[in-house]
């Protein structure tokens, strides 16, 4: 095999593909990058069995063929090469490749292409398209609430619930819940399903969909897999099996106290006050609400104390309540609205945060017992 292609395009494609290379692969071949050169197109594949990625780029192919290269080493080499173009030539008899770019030359050992588990594209009639900006908004406003513990895998994923033109994505780690809703304009959107998608693949996808101009992402799903296709990129992932809890049961129907606060004022104040509590296991901050003032405080016997006041508008009863500071900061950075509503019933029941101008996004968080 022999081809020449632009360095930046190959580097970008390999960088995307490395997201499907495990740091501790089940088998050595899964640490490799599969490259097939044919019809002036490079098809680049990686998989860890849970996730599979295929990227295609144009190349000047002088000799068609297939190779598998050690993924991390190959990526480290090509991203540091000095030239604008890369020439790659394989030697099947010696199981090696030669990489040339400007004045640089590398020789790498290749792996057996026969042993690589080729990715089979998902075939299903269950398919729809979403604009990339809508998809990334769903992901960013929910996936941060997923659990990172594999003890209960169902909470490491986001629920995507489709009911005709209404899409809802929800995520929880049992201590907090984020729910984002979208209503599609497409009248042909007539699917009904519930899918639990691993948060890792969603976060990887969100990091790739960075174009300022929204594009269509084709989504296909079966009973145990889901795929995302856009431009020359194909990503397939397993789905998480199990029954996602009814998140509507977690959302309090009404509240005794509701506070209107400037989003960035609250975010900045918590960020400062929690400097004292961050070394504590629970990172507790205390929030004391009165009619027009919020006193934020934290106390760490080994470090000291912090206090700050901000102006609010309270409706209902004053309340003193405490939270894990991280759980509040995590949601505030994804709220674009100038003001939020912070609603409560008592110091031990779940509270709710939502933008004042957006009923499509809510966040429910459980308070912690206040330290005396």
Mean pLDDT of 305-326: 96
Position 86 scores a pLDDT of 97
Mean pLDDT of 38-52: 96
Q: Quick check: 87 and 100 in contact, CB under 8 A?
A: yes
Position 140 scores a pLDDT of 97
Does 189 score more than 90 pLDDT?
A: no
The percentage of the chain sitting over the pLDDT mark of 70, rounded to a whole number, equals 98
SS3 319: strand
- Band of residue 194 on the pLDDT scale cut at 50, 70, 90: very high
Position 165 scores a pLDDT of 86
How high does pLDDT run on average in the chain? 94
- Band of residue 370 on the pLDDT scale cut at 50, 70, 90: confident
Strand-pair partners of 152: none
Does 124 score more than 70 pLDDT?
A: yes
- Band of residue 301 on the pLDDT scale cut at 50, 70, 90: confident
Two structure tokens written together for 42:
């490079």
- Band of residue 318 on the pLDDT scale cut at 50, 70, 90: very high
Mean pLDDT of 233-240: 97
- Band of residue 372 on the pLDDT scale cut at 50, 70, 90: low
Does 371 score more than 60 pLDDT?
A: no
Mean pLDDT of 212-228: 96
- Band of residue 24 on the pLDDT scale cut at 50, 70, 90: confident
CA dihedral 26, 28, 29, 31 (to 10 degrees): 80
What does the DSSP 8-state code read for residue 111? Answer: B
Residues 6+ apart with CB under 8 A from 65: 1, 2, 36, 37, 90, 92
Q: Kindly report the three-state secondary structure assignment for every residue of 256-275.
A: CEEEEEEHHHHHHHHHHHHH
* Greatest mean pLDDT among 9-13, 89-93, 163-167, 368-372: 9-13
Q: How far, rounded to the nearest angstrom, does the alpha carbon of residue 19 sit from its chain's CA centroid?
A: 12
What kind of fold does domain 127-248 have according to CATH? DNA Polymerase III; Chain A, domain 2 (3.10.150)
Does 66 score more than 70 pLDDT?
A: yes
Mean pLDDT of 209-220: 94
Using N-to-C axis directions, what is the helix angle for 132-140 and 199-208, rounded to 10°? 130
Position 284 scores a pLDDT of 93
Mean pLDDT of 161-183: 95
Superfamily in which the 2-115 domain is placed by CATH: DNA Polymerase III, subunit A, domain 2 (3.10.150.10)
Using N-to-C axis directions, what is the helix angle for 7-17 and 71-80, rounded to 10°? 150
Q: Could you say which of 3.40.640.10, 3.30.60.50, 3.40.50.720, 3.10.150.10 is the CATH number of the domain covering 251-365?
A: 3.10.150.10
Domain ranges of the chain: 2-115, 127-248, 251-365
Q: Kindly report the three-state secondary structure assignment for every residue of the chain.
A: CEEEEEHHHHHHHHHHHHHHCCCCCCCHHHHEEEEEEECCEEEEEEECCCEEEEEEEECEEEECEEEEEEHHHHHHHHHHCCCCEEEEEEECCCCEEEEEECCEEEEEECECHHHCCCCCCCCCCCEEEEEHHHHHHHHHCCHHHCCCCCCCHHHHEEEEEEECCEEEEEEECCCEEEEEEEECCCCCCCCEEEEEEEHHHHHHHHHHCCCCCCCEEEEEECCCEEEEEECCEEEEEECCCCCCCCHHHCCCCCCCEEEEEEHHHHHHHHHHHHHHHCCCCCCEEEEEECCCEEEEEEEECCCEEEEEEEECEEECCCEEEEEEHHHHHHHHCCCCCCEEEEEECCCCCCEEEEECCCCCEEEEECCCCCCC
Does 79 score more than 60 pLDDT?
A: yes
Could you check whether 2-115 and 127-248 share the same CATH topology? Answer: yes
- Band of residue 187 on the pLDDT scale cut at 50, 70, 90: low
Strand-pair partners of 129: 218
The rounded distance, in Å, linking the Cα atoms of 85 and 87 is 7
């Amino acid at each position: 095999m022999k081809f020449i292609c632009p360095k930046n395009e190959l580097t970008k494609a390999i960088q995307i593909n490395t997201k499907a290379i495990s740091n501790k692969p089940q088998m050595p071949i899964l640490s490799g990058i599969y490259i097939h050169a044919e019809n002036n197109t490079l098809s680049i594949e990686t998989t860890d069995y849970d996730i599979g990625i295929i990227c295609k780029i144009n190349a000047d192919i002088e000799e068609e063929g297939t190779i598998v290269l050690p993924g991390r080493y190959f990526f480290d080499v090509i991203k540091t090469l000095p030239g604008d173009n890369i020439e790659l030539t394989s030697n099947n008899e010696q199981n090696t490749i030669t990489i040339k770019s400007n004045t640089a030359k590398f020789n790498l050992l290749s792996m057996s292409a026969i042993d690589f588990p080729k990715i089979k594209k998902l075939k299903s009639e269950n398919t729809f398209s979403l604009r990339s900006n809508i998809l990334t908004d769903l992901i960013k406003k929910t996936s941060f609430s997923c659990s990172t513990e594999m003890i209960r895998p169902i909470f490491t994923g986001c629920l995507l619930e489709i009911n005709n033109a209404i899409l809802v994505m929800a995520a929880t780690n049992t201590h907090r819940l984020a729910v984002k809703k979208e209503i599609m304009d497409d009248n042909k959107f007539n699917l009904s399903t519930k899918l639990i998608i691993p948060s890792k693949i969603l976060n990887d996808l969100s990091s790739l969909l960075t174009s300022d101009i929204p594009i269509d992402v084709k989504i296909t799903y079966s009973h145990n897999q889901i795929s995302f296709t856009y431009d020359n990129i194909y990503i397939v992932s397993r789905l998480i099996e199990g029954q996602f809890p009814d998140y509507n049961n977690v959302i309090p129907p009404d509240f005794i106290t509701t506070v209107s606060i400037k989003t960035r004022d609250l975010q900045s104040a918590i960020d400062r006050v929690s400097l004292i509590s961050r070394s504590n296991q629970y990172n507790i901050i205390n929030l004391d609400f009165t009619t027009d003032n919020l006193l934020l405080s934290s106390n760490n016997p080994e470090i000291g104390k912090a206090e700050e006041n901000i102006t609010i508008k309270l409706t209902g009863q004053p309340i003193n309540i405490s939270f894990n500071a991280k759980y509040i900061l995590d949601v505030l950075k994804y709220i674009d609205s100038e003001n939020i509503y912070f609603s409560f019933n008592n110091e031990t029941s779940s509270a709710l945060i939502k933008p004042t101008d957006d009923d499509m996004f809510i966040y429910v968080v459980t308070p912690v017992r206040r330290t005396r």
